[in-house]
């Protein structure tokens, strides 16, 4: 039983180290992804994406209400402004999704670090407890 507990303690501690490493990797990847999105949407700032998306969405929806019946009936083609606003809305929506995903990955990294540290402490505590129990039974 003594050897089994030590093995479990070591496995728990190793899993904690793996969790810690993955957490660090996730955080660095999230920062890199956010920077790439920021470069792609320049001169717009990341903090302005939501407001710009909502403004474009409102304009595009208003234009769609006037043009869509004619387009659906086959009587007219979409205007250049309608196409422009649709493409801009799509691009800003993708940017919003990427920014949200980067935030999620960063949060997952933080959670992984916390869980990893907890597993490391649990593994070390289990290992020390097993050693103290072994000393009292042999000593």
% of the chain surpassing 90 pLDDT: 65
CA angle 23/29/122 to nearest 5° reads 5
What is the pTM assigned to this prediction? Answer: 0.76
Average of per-residue pLDDT across 25-42? 92
Residue corresponding to tokens 């593994």 = 123
Average of per-residue pLDDT across 13-38? 94
Q: Is the pLDDT of residue 139 over 80?
A: no
Q: Is the pLDDT of residue 1 over 60?
A: no
Reported confidence tier of residue 30, pLDDT bands at 50, 70, 90 = very high
Tell me the C-alpha distance between 97 and 103, whole Å: 10
Determine the pLDDT at residue 36: 93
Determine the pLDDT at residue 6: 86
Determine the pLDDT at residue 75: 85
Neighbours of 49 (CB within 10 A): 19
Reported confidence tier of residue 136, pLDDT bands at 50, 70, 90 = low
Q: Where are the alpha helices (DSSP H) in the chain?
A: 2-40, 49-73, 80-138
pLDDT in tens, 46-105: 999 999 999 999 999 999 888 888 888 888 888 899 899 999 999 999 999 999 999 999
Average confidence score pLDDT of the chain = 89
Determine the pLDDT at residue 27: 95
Tell me the C-alpha distance between 23 and 120, whole Å: 14
């Amino acid at each position: 039983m003594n050897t089994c507990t030590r093995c479990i303690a070591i496995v728990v501690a190793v899993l904690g180290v793996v969790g810690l490493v993955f957490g660090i990797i996730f955080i660095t990847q999230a920062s890199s992804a956010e920077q790439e999105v920021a470069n792609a949407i320049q001169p717009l700032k990341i903090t302005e994406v939501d407001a710009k998306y909502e403004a474009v969405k409102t304009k595009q929806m208003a234009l769609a209400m006037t043009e869509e019946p004619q387009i659906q009936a086959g009587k007219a083609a979409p205007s250049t402004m309608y196409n422009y606003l649709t493409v801009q809305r799509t691009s800003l929506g993708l940017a919003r999704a990427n920014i949200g995903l980067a935030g999620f990955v960063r949060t997952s990294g933080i959670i992984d670090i916390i869980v990893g540290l907890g597993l490391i402490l649990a593994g070390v505590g289990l290992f020390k407890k097993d050693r103290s129990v072994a000393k009292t039974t042999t000593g």
